[in-house]
Amino acid sequence: MTVAGAMAADFLWFELGRRKGIRILQLLCKISLAPDSCVRRTEGIYAKQGARSLIVAKFLPGLSTVAPPLAGIFHMRPRRFLLYDALGASLWAGSVLGLGYVFSNQIESIAKYAERLGTGAAVLFGGAFAAYIVWKFIARRRFLKELRIARISPAELKRKMDSGEEITIVDLRHALDFEADPETIPGAFRMDADELQEKNERLPRDREVILYCT
């Protein structure tokens, strides 16, 4: 039942990814604690591991949510998806049940200790989680504040292009993003974000350089 339930939910997200495309992944990443790196991080894992990422996805926080729609976005065959998803769900369920059986005595001891602590345990764990959320929120706000200093809107970019201003536009989207949506800004050239430092000699020094990504 555990495996069947996990697979049913995963297949629903797989179909949403197949029908709605990259917008589903972007929606899921918007509600994550690190939306600015969520898309690139998950696509990087999928690009390296492919279908095999579905086997380990449930053991990795974040990847378990986005791996099924990502498989749909990049047109994995449903039969292949179900095979790898079944392997991953079975491994995950078996591991959880196996660990529960092996450490059943320790789990009972922890439960008794938590019961003795009463509401104090809930307050402790709740406070730690709340502190983590606040820390991530503050870090994100700082990042966005720094980003605004050197950020322009699509309308501003269009005005620069229409006026004939000499600018260089670099498309930093991940290869998987480009495969899903190959349209790009006219005149832009593609470069992977990881290559930006290694191949920065390709960037002109006599004009404004504008970077864009997912």
Residue 111 lies in a domain: no
Candidates 29, 9, 19; CA nearest to 72 is: 19
With a CB cutoff of 8 Å and minimum separation 6, the contacts of 80 are: 51
Q: pTM of the prediction?
A: 0.52
Answer yes or no: do 93 and 178 share one domain. no
Answer yes or no: do 40 and 25 share one domain. yes
How high does pLDDT run on average in the chain? 76
pLDDT at 37: 54
pLDDT one-digit tens code per residue, 53-92: 788 777 776 677 778 888 888 788 889 898 988 888 888 8
Is the confidence at residue 94, as pLDDT, over 70?
A: yes
Answer yes or no: do 12 and 65 share one domain. yes
Answer yes or no: do 6 and 98 share one domain. yes
Confidence band (pLDDT; 50, 70, 90) for 120?
A: low
Is the confidence at residue 161, as pLDDT, over 80?
A: yes
Is the confidence at residue 12, as pLDDT, over 60?
A: yes
* CATH code: domain of residue 203: 3.40.250.10
Answer yes or no: do 121 and 208 share one domain. no
Range of the domain at 196: 154-212
Tally the domains of the chain: 3
Answer yes or no: do 61 and 133 share one domain. no
Answer yes or no: do 12 and 32 share one domain. yes
pLDDT at 29: 67
pLDDT at 44: 66
With a CB cutoff of 8 Å and minimum separation 6, the contacts of 172 are: 191, 192, 193, 196, 211, 212, 213
Residue 107 lies in a domain: no
Residue 112 lies in a domain: no
